[in-house]
Structure 1
Amino acid sequence: MPRRQNLTKRQAHVLDFIRNYVAENNLAPTLGEIGDGLGVNRVTVFEHVRALEQKGWIRTERHLSRSIELIDDNTAARGVPIYGRIAAGQPIDVVPEAERDTFDPADLFQDDKDLYMLEVHGESMIEDHIRDGDHVIVESRQTAQPGETVVALVRGQEATLKRYYPMGKETRLEPRNSTMEPIVLPTQDVTVQGVVVGVLRQY
């Protein structure tokens, strides 16, 4: 089975419709029925169904009108993967590949963004109201504007959460804690892995 990938809000709506239709009718809907139910045309439905199949949520058979088969319907349709913890003090081990959990911020952020979540470990960003134990929502990208809060990979081995200030041959990774000093490194030793777009805190 293909590795599950996260869905956009629109793709999740299509998947929810398919699940509900199967539960009520004990058979899969046609593309036309999905379109009628969601108020969209068949071309749009086809693109979403193809995306669901490519992302590992359904199977289809060509040339059959009711060929949609749900895969492992016990798994939630939406979610941002929690990859692990991120240092907000001294850098720690690089963000692990394995996912630990999922969270659904679909109503808080724009569709089609490549997002993931990290648990903050440390106090270096407290003056930006990012505290130890918080979760940051990160947009995965390799570029950032000066002053943005980024997930920075240091020397290809350690990840840290800091304000990002490129300075030509050097890059300054600046904490937002007046008791801590910035980290200044050769630019080639710093790789941007994502930019923080939100913070979540449980009280």
Structure 2
Amino acid sequence: MGYEIVGPETVSGREVFGLLVKEDSMVGDGIYNGDTVIVVKQREISSSDIAVVAINEDEATLKRVKCEGEICMLMPSNPSLQPSLVPIKDVFIIGKVIQSRRYFE
């Protein structure tokens, strides 16, 4: 288990956390498997934000989210993946990605 240094200019009094990416759904936005994303913990996001989302209280995923009525569309930026439709009651927004970090060995 590692740690990330997040400067005070990034935090700005907000609750943030780091998340190790273990998927390739947002490669179109330059976020790859093995990267670390810095996330502001918040429930409200816009459809242009990359969000950390839990579906059915399962593992978290990174997607853009657009909700209308009782359905949410979870949109990856990987052109080989399709958006998915999920009932709004099964979607839990954890936070908004504000930074992505990649380290080379």
Shared fold (TM-score, shorter chain, > 0.5)? yes
- 2:12 aligns to what? 111
- 1:199 aligns to what? 100
1:120 alignment partner, one of 1, 21, 42: 21
Distance between the aligned counterparts of 1:108 and 1:176, measured in 2?
28
4+ runs deviating over 3 angstroms: none
Q: Percentage identity across aligned positions?
A: 28
1:179 alignment partner, one of 76, 80, 86: 80
- Structure 2 residue matching 1:105: 3-state secondary structure: coil
Confirm whether residue 133 of structure 1 aligns to residue 30 of structure 2: no
Alpha-carbon distance, 1:158 to partner: 2.7
Distance between the aligned counterparts of 2:11 and 2:61, measured in 1?
25
Alpha-carbon distance, 1:196 to partner: 0.3
Q: Deviations over 1:93-143 (max 9, x none)?
A: xxxxxxx44321215514211000001112111000001110000000111
Q: CA RMSD in A?
A: 1.3
Q: Which has the higher helix share?
A: 1
Alpha-carbon distance, 1:187 to partner: 0.7
Distance between the aligned counterparts of 2:33 and 2:77, measured in 1?
13
Distance between the aligned counterparts of 1:160 and 1:136, measured in 2?
12
Alpha-carbon distance, 1:144 to partner: 0.8
Query: Against the structure 1 CA distance between its residues 196 and 174, is the aligned structure 2 distance closer, same or farther, given a 3 Å change threshold?
Result: same
Structure 1 or 2, whichever has the larger Rg, is 1
Larger relative contact order (Cα-Cα within 8 Å, sequence gap ≥ 6): 2
Confirm whether residue 148 of structure 1 aligns to residue 56 of structure 2: no
TM-score scaled by length of structure 2: 0.91
Q: Deviations over 1:176-195 (max 9, x none)?
A: 01110111101111010010
- 2:64 aligns to what? 163
Alpha-carbon distance, 1:168 to partner: 1.8
- Structure 2 residue matching 1:123: 3-state secondary structure: coil
- 2:89 aligns to what? 188
Q: What amino acid is the match of 2:88?
A: T
Q: Which has the higher strand share?
A: 2
- Structure 2 residue matching 1:121: 3-state secondary structure: coil
Q: What amino acid is the match of 1:165?
A: K
TM-score scaled by length of structure 1: 0.49
